């Protein structure tokens, strides 16, 4: 069993509470659409050489397949142990000491209606010889609408502006750079924010960066469900559906080739189904 210090426990508790509220909000949308779909939750233990069951932490994978949300996964994990020597070199603060702790929430929603944008959100707290928060959210519409893009970004900007005037322009630009598929020469969506390595050198820094990370989660929860409700009743054509499948293919390419979170999960003995829950249920490549 992992022994958590107060900062680690506070972060874990927050991520789990955010998971519960997001899942409740998504299930409420399914009820409005006349569906009784609900999340199925599967607990898992981190597995790695030399670690007894439960000692490396684990998580819970939540997946719902419904009328509006064709496939949505909301995962929370809290894990610890030691990185492999080679992987440790790529992690902030782990080159000289590979021991680590990580807790976070990760969400990806693929929608049944091509007019409803897919979405990704994650926030996390990591500890090596340094401690920091990271995360972000981005909107991935097969058929973009300026109103949806503006509302999504407005929510994230308000969360950023309440903490630091430099956050939104900096983290928006970081998202534009990060959520880009180099081999395609395209962005995978209409952006959002991405941040990492908000280091917690002392309690005051932890409190500030934790407050900002909570604000990002609250902004996502406030912004995304109204967009879903706005578009979920839209009529769509076979061409619209084909476009959605093509963009899902782009999403899968990014997550399998470039996404840091996918690599982190695979390198640290995470649950394979939880790591790859971000992949769409159906996609196409021409």
Task: Read off the pLDDT of residues 258-269 as tens digits, 9 standing for 90 and up.
Answer: 888 888 778 777
Domain range summary for the chain, segments of one domain joined by +: 6-278
The answer, yes or no, to whether residue 49 has pLDDT greater than 80, is no
Q: Is 61 exposed, middle or buried (0-12, 13-18, 19+ CB in 10 A)?
A: buried
Known catalytic residues?
Answer: 120
Q: How far apart are CA 23 and CA 28, in angstroms?
A: 9
Residues 6-278, CATH architecture? 3-Layer(aba) Sandwich (3.40)
Q: Does residue 143 contact residue 114 with C-beta atoms inside 8 Å?
A: yes
247 φψ region: left (φ > 0), alpha (ψ -120 to 50), beta (else): alpha
Q: How far apart are CA 126 and CA 113, in angstroms?
A: 36
3-state secondary structure labels for all residues of 195-209: EEEEECCCHHHHHHH
Q: Does residue 132 contact residue 100 with C-beta atoms inside 8 Å?
A: no
pLDDT at 46: 81
Contacts for 29 with CB less than 8 Å, ≥ 6 apart? 68, 69, 225, 228, 229, 232
- Give the tens place of pLDDT for each residue, 125-148: 999 999 999 999 999 999 999 999
Contacts for 185 with CB less than 8 Å, ≥ 6 apart? none
The neighbour count for residue 141, using CB atoms within 10 Å, is 22
Biggest alpha carbon–alpha carbon distance for the chain: 56
The DSSP letter of residue 107 is E
Q: Can you tell me whether residue 59 is helix, strand or coil? A: strand
pLDDT at 53: 63
- Range in 85-89, 121-125, 166-170, 190-194 the model is least confident about: 85-89
Q: Does residue 59 contact residue 44 with C-beta atoms inside 8 Å?
A: yes
Average pLDDT over residues 148-164: 98
pLDDT at 260: 80
Q: Does residue 71 contact residue 281 with C-beta atoms inside 8 Å?
A: yes
Average pLDDT over residues 150-156: 98
């Amino acid at each position: 069993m992992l022994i958590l210090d107060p900062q680690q426990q506070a972060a874990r508790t927050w991520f789990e509470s955010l998971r519960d509220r997001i899942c409740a909000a998504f299930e409420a949308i399914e009820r409005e659409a006349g569906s009784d779909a609900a999340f199925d939750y599967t607990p898992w233990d981190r597995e790695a050489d030399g670690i007894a069951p439960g000692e490396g932490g684990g998580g819970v994978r939540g997946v719902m397949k419904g009328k509006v949300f064709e496939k949505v996964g909301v995962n929370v994990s809290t894990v610890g142990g030691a990185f492999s020597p080679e992987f440790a070199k790529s992690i902030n603060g782990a080159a000289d000491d590979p021991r680590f702790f990580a807790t976070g929430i990760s969400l990806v929603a693929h929608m049944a209606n091509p007019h409803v944008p897919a979405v990704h959100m994650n926030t996390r707290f990591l500890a090596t010889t340094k401690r920091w928060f990271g995360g972000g959210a981005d909107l991935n519409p097969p058929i973009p609408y300026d109103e949806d893009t503006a509302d999504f970004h407005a929510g994230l900007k308000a969360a950023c502006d309440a903490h630091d005037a430099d956050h939104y322009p900096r983290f928006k630009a970081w998202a534009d750079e990060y959520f880009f598929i180099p081999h395609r020469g395209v962005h995978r969506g209409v952006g959002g924010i991405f941040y990492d390595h908000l280091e917690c050198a002392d309690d005051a820094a932890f409190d500030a960066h934790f407050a900002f990370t909570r604000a990002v989660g609250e902004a996502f929860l406030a912004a995304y469900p109204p967009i879903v409700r706005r578009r979920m009743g839209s009529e769509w054509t076979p061409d619209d559906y084909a476009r959605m499948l093509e963009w899902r293919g782009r999403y899968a390419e990014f997550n399998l080739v470039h996404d840091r979170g996918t690599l982190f999960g695979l390198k640290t003995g995470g649950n394979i189904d939880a790591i790859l829950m971000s992949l769409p249920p159906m996609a196409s490549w021409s």
